[in-house]
Every structure is written in structure tokens, then in C-alpha cells.
Amino acid sequence: MSAADLHGEYKVPGGKLVVVDLSHDGRRLTDVSVNGDFFLEPDEALEDLNSALRGVDVDAAHHEVARRIRDGLRAEAQLIGFDEHAVASAVRRALGHATTWADHRWEVLPPVRLPIAVNVALDQVLTEEVGRGSRPPLLRLWDWDERAVVIGSFQSLANEVDAESAAEHEVQVVRRISGGGAMFMEPGNCVTYSLCFPQSLVDGLSFADSYPFLDSWAMEALERIGVAAEYRPLNDIVSAQGKIGGAAQKRLASGGMLHHVTMSYDIDAEKMTEVLRIGREKISDKGIASAVKRVDPLRSQTGMSRAEILESFADVFAGRYGADVAAVRAHELERAHHLVDEKFGTAEWTSRVA
């Protein structure tokens, strides 16, 4: 068995393009040519790169490929505008282990009003489906009609939620599968979306780098509606006026990955601080002052309705990645309702970290 003329490219953010053309015998790389618009000193180091890659296992993980490259370089080699990780990404893209946005056929699922618990369950269902290859990767926009708090997978229920206040305000509490912090979600007060995709899309990226990478389209969407936003490590989206939103992730054994984002549209901050056990120190960087009753970065900074913002987000994503409009399938929704009964709607799951 042999494979020839495989081609992979990786553009370093703010750096240079790395191209790898290679062949393999079914087990290991044979002919390899690393090329691109990068700078490399001395000239002989180019052959070091090619030699280091010959014999690499075709299934080698990103870090193994990068280590092989680094170990094969002469001590005085200087890689300018790229590094061994960029080469490893190009290699794994050539082999089909790493992918780009353009390698996938994307779908956009417009908002459909569903119970919060069903929305949370759909994150698991759709990520599993994408991981198995049963449906294309997707962007799903949320909608809901009840007051809720969605807590992170590893948060303590007692530490995050004031049970008495939650009951008084008729707030439902649901635990999601991704980590991160608690989200206070009244109808119409947030912009929430989920990305479900194969883990190959973020192959070679650190957890920290994967967040801005996956939301680069959202930064473009925010800019188009008049919000100058940026990422603050690890997972906060901020503007000059303070925090707008945050992201969370979960990687599943099926090979699928979930990236979930919630942004504030127009939140009742007073009610939120009654329901959530958040001290003043915790919210000091989130644009909330003692006299402020609402947190409304997207409403006040854009002057747009929430529906208009959701539509703009969908349009930017579809235009950037050629996504088709789609919908949750009947069996997926049925599975989500079953998961609410079996998992997300149970006290055992919600209080699993008491």
C-alpha cells in the first residue's frame, strides 16, 4: 500500500505559510518536502526538516511529530515566522488527521424555542452525532422561554446558586456537560450558541488557542454590528466597556467537540446577583456596578434587537464558511428529551457536585 502526492498547508496566525508535500507506505512517511514563504537559517536546516519527518508514523500525534522535528534540527537552526508545531499541523492536515474550516460542510441551525434542559441536552446529542459522522458540523443558535441558571459541569451547586432565591424567582437550575461558570438566562436576555464539530478542527492547538480560533467568526460578527471585542484568556469575550460573554468546551469520546458561548444582551444584574452567589470581587470585571440594574452590552452598544443580532451572527457564519441552513432532526430532538428525563432533568445530575 502506498500514498503519494498528499498536500497539507498551515498558515501561522500573524506568521508565515507552511506547506508539506509527502508520500507514505501505509505505515510511515517516505518522501517529504517542507516548503513555504517562511524564513529558515541556515539553508541546510531545510533538509533537516525533511529528514526528521521521513519515517514518522502516519498516525503519530501532533506532539510526537513536533518533537521529531525539533530533535532533528541542528542546534543553530532558526525558524522565523513558523515553528515545529506549524510543520506538524501541515503534516497532519496532509494525512487527514487535522482539518480546516473549509474541509467541512457546515450547517446553521436557526433559533427554535425549547426548554433550557432540552437545549443543554442537545449539546450532547448533536456533538455525539457530529463525532460519529452522522451529521455535518454545525452552529446552533439557542432560544428558550423560561428563567434559568445553567451551571458548569464541575461547579458546586450550593456554592453557585442561592436555592431560596432561585425558588422565589422561579429559576430552573440545569447543569451542562462543559466546564466554565454559571449563566443566568432569562428569556431574551442572552445570545447563546453552540458549535459542534470534529476534534480534528483544533488538532495541534492548545486549549487556550482553540477559544479565539473557534470564535474568530463571532469577533467578525460583533465588529459588523458595531462592537469592538477581543478575547481575554482563557475564555472571556470583552469590549472596552467590560465583559460581554464567555465560552466553554467539552471533548467527547466519539471524536466530537462542543464549543459553547453565551453573551449578555440585556441582563437584570440585580436579580442575577440574588440568584447566583457571586461576590463583588467576582463581578468587578464584568461591567456591573452597585447602582446598575441591567447589564446590556449588546443592546446598548448596537441598538439592535436580539433577533437582529442572532440573524447577523448566522449570516456571518454562513457567509464565511458556506454553511447551509438546517434544523434539529426528529430523532435528535427525541434523544434530547430522553436525556432530560434520564440525566439533565434529574437531581442526581444537577447536584452531582453538591
Q: How far apart are CA 347 and CA 158, in angstroms?
A: 13
- Both 162 and 106 in one domain: the answer is yes
Domain containing 28 equals: 3-94
- Both 285 and 221 in one domain: the answer is yes
pLDDT of 75 strictly over 90:
yes
- Both 88 and 105 in one domain: the answer is no
Q: How far apart are CA 53 and CA 156, in angstroms?
A: 47
Task: Give the domain-ending residue among 94, 111, 142.
Answer: 94
- Both 89 and 135 in one domain: the answer is no
With a CB cutoff of 8 Å and minimum separation 6, the contacts of 208 are: 233, 234
- Both 86 and 117 in one domain: the answer is no
Q: Residue 48's domain is classified under what CATH number?
A: 3.30.390.50
List the grid coordinates of 65: 511529530
Q: Which amino acid is at 160?
A: E
Q: How far apart are CA 127 and CA 97, in angstroms?
A: 18
- Both 208 and 312 in one domain: the answer is yes
List the grid coordinates of 349: 445530575
- Both 38 and 170 in one domain: the answer is no
With a CB cutoff of 8 Å and minimum separation 6, the contacts of 294 are: 266, 267, 268, 269
HSE toward the beta carbon, residue 319, CA cutoff 13 A = 11
- Both 331 and 202 in one domain: the answer is yes
The whole-number pLDDT of residue 284 equals 53
Q: Residue 200's domain is classified under what CATH number?
A: 3.30.930.10
Q: Is 0.85 topped by the overall pTM?
A: yes
- Both 164 and 232 in one domain: the answer is yes
Which residue in this structure is represented by grid cell 445530575? 349
- Both 69 and 206 in one domain: the answer is no
- Both 224 and 294 in one domain: the answer is yes
Q: How far apart are CA 89 and CA 85, in angstroms?
A: 6
Closest CA to 217 of 141, 329, 317: 317
pLDDT of 11 strictly over 80:
yes
The whole-number pLDDT of residue 293 equals 62
Task: Give the domain-ending residue among 63, 94, 125.
Answer: 94
Chain segment 136-189, per-residue pLDDT in tens:
999 999 999 999 999 999 999 999 999 999 999 999 999 999 999 999 999 999
Average pLDDT of span 208-217: 96
Where residue 12 falls (left for φ over 0; alpha for ψ -120 to 50; beta otherwise) is beta
Which residue in this structure is represented by grid cell 439592535? 304
Q: How far apart are CA 51 and CA 67, in angstroms?
A: 13
- Residues, the chain: 354
CB 229 within 8 A of CB 244: yes
Confidence of residue 2 (pLDDT cuts 50, 70, 90): low
With a CB cutoff of 8 Å and minimum separation 6, the contacts of 24 are: 2, 3, 6, 30, 58, 95
Chain segment 266-308, per-residue pLDDT in tens:
999 999 999 999 743 355 555 554 434 678 899 999 999 999 9
With a CB cutoff of 8 Å and minimum separation 6, the contacts of 28 are: 54, 55, 56, 57, 58
- Both 86 and 120 in one domain: the answer is no
Task: Give the domain-ending residue among 94, 113, 145.
Answer: 94
The whole-number pLDDT of residue 123 equals 98
Q: Which amino acid is at 116?
A: I
Instruction: Count how many domains the chain has.
Output: 2
